[in-house]
Structure 1
Amino acid sequence: MSVAKQLWVSAVALIITVVFFGVSGTDIWVQNHFYNPITHQWLLDHDEPVLKFIFYDGIKRLIIIVDVVILITLIVGWKKPFLALYRKGIVIVLLSGIFVPVVVGSFKALTNLPCPKNLEIYGGNYPHTCVWEKYPKSFCQQGKIKCWPAGHASGGFALLSLIYLFRTRKAKIIAGISAMVIGWSMGSYKMLIGDHFLSHTFITMVMAWFIISLIVYLIERAQKRRKQLKMV
């Protein structure tokens, strides 16, 4: 599938995803499996140190280290012949590692939607609403809340850009599967501690797909223009 088609498909998929989870009860149905209404506890403890290190602090630091290594490689080896074939892919991975989390984080600041643990049905004080709905007038919100879409998993799904770094089909498949496993591991952990719904992570995945496709599209378009100018 061409990058232009991926842009359209991912944009449509994003709209369908938002509408589907907004009108269906899928989020609540799934999340109910992770919450014990008798003990008022989630399936995993938010403060359990080992799991928190593996699926939150540790993996986040690892992704940051990978991004820094890629940046250093790009700077040091920009003019190196052996990096010529991978230069475009490295730029795509680096830009994706920056813009996917930034865009997702910006949406979190705007949507003002609560996490599962904040909802009344799970011991919180927030009513359940869709992204396009306002809170009831009877609800008094003390300050903005940031939980939709899933910010933590955005770093993992940004690694889908690794598909554009590798050249063989096998390597691309391995990179894509690995990125999905990392992204969903990060997102699932947050679901199991009550920090996110299924839709939060799913939407972040689709957003990452769209943003990465847009980055690739713009880079390829810039390359074509540069070639056209050289021919003039």
Structure 2
Amino acid sequence: MRIKPSILWVSVALLLILLLETTGMDLPVQDLFFQFDSHQWRIDKDDPFWRAIFYTGAKRTVALVAILTLLTLLHSWKFKTRIHLRRKLILLLVTLIVVPGTISGLKNISNVHCPWSLTRYGGDLPHVPFLATNPNDFPAKRPGKCFPAGHPSGGFAFMSLFFLLPGAWRWVGLGTGITLGWIMGLYQMMKGAHYLSHVIVSMLLAWLLIEGIVLLFEKYWPERGKTPHTPVT
């Protein structure tokens, strides 16, 4: 299958970000969100107002859009809506499920702890870069589940609108997904749940997953008038 140039560029960027994360360059950025004099984050993770808007509310919004997409899809079959619309609805639904699900799954096995767990920010754990081995006296018995950023991936999943909307609107769709993802990601950073690199990696992985899904659709279910990609020989 032919690989789009953007996938290659995003893959290179992703590797660079992973290398930056291993150097500890996240820490100076994260320091901006921690008030060392009061030992508090810019946003209290238990503050019900901000949590209702940027965490619970954001997650429910993504779920609501997915449910509405599914209902619209079922409605389209009932009334024999044109197949190209059903294709777009299925693609959107798949991305809204696969992108957050995959990134959250990776988060659960990466064994990277959140900033709020570090002694630097009032926690009880030393900073261990991604892919580094924990020291023998590492105090944590619980695995870390903070890399990549799972919460913003729900917003970044909407970058798939780039492939679904016509003309110049596709850039509006892309901007919507990026904006939503970063709003959710910055909220997580400001309460100590993620580093900058965690959110960037989440965005890049989301884009890779979206393009992979789109390529599969183009190969096995091309739009009318288009031919699927052929293998490179």
Aligned-partner Cα distance in 1 for 2:215–2:157: 16
Higher mean alpha-carbon deviation, 102-111 vs 81-90, is at 81-90
Contact 1:3–1:213 (8 Å) recurs in 2: no
**What is the CA distance between 1:114 and its match in structure 2?**
0.6
**What is the CA distance between 1:10 and its match in structure 2?**
2.0
Q: Secondary structure at the match of 2:84?
A: coil
Aligned-partner Cα distance in 1 for 2:228–2:45: 53
Q: Name the counterpart of 1:160.
A: 159
Counterpart residue type for residue 108 of structure 2: A
TM-score by length of 2: 0.89
Q: Name the counterpart of 2:34.
A: 35
**What is the CA distance between 1:22 and its match in structure 2?**
1.9
1:211 aligns with 2:224: no
Higher mean alpha-carbon deviation, 35-44 vs 181-190, is at 35-44
Q: Name the counterpart of 1:180.
A: 178
Q: How many residues align?
A: 224
Structure 2 residues without counterparts, runs of 5 or longer: none
**What is the CA distance between 1:83 and its match in structure 2?**
4.1
Q: Secondary structure at the match of 1:78?
A: helix
Aligned-partner Cα distance in 1 for 2:3–2:90: 16
Aligned-partner Cα distance in 2 for 1:27–1:173: 29
**What is the CA distance between 1:91 and its match in structure 2?**
1.8
Q: Name the counterpart of 2:94.
A: 95
TM-score by length of 1: 0.90
1:14 aligns with 2:14: yes
Counterpart residue type for residue 153 of structure 1: P
Aligned-partner Cα distance in 2 for 1:30–1:152: 19
Structure 1 residues without counterparts, runs of 5 or longer: none
Q: Secondary structure at the match of 1:85?
A: helix
Q: Name the counterpart of 1:125.
A: 124
Higher mean alpha-carbon deviation, 69-78 vs 4-13, is at 4-13
Q: Name the counterpart of 1:44.
A: 43
1:113-169 per-residue CA deviation (whole Å, 9 max, x = no partner) reads 110000111111111122210111111322212111111001000011111221122
Q: Name the counterpart of 1:222.
A: 220
1:52-108 per-residue CA deviation (whole Å, 9 max, x = no partner) reads 111111111011000011111112203756543333222221111111111111111
**What is the CA distance between 1:180 and its match in structure 2?**
1.1
RMSD: 2.0
Q: Secondary structure at the match of 1:138?
A: coil
Aligned-partner Cα distance in 2 for 1:65–1:215: 21
Aligned-partner Cα distance in 2 for 1:83–1:182: 30
1:203-228 per-residue CA deviation (whole Å, 9 max, x = no partner) reads 0000000000000011111136x989
Q: Secondary structure at the match of 1:114?
A: coil
1:3–1:78 distance in 2 versus 1, CA, 3 Å: farther
Aligned-partner Cα distance in 1 for 2:77–2:15: 38
1:75 aligns with 2:74: yes
Aligned-partner Cα distance in 2 for 1:178–1:153: 13
Identity of aligned residues (%): 34
Q: Name the counterpart of 2:200.
A: 202
Q: Secondary structure at the match of 1:133?
A: coil
Contact 1:92–1:164 (8 Å) recurs in 2: no
Contact 1:127–1:135 (8 Å) recurs in 2: no
Q: Secondary structure at the match of 1:124?
A: coil
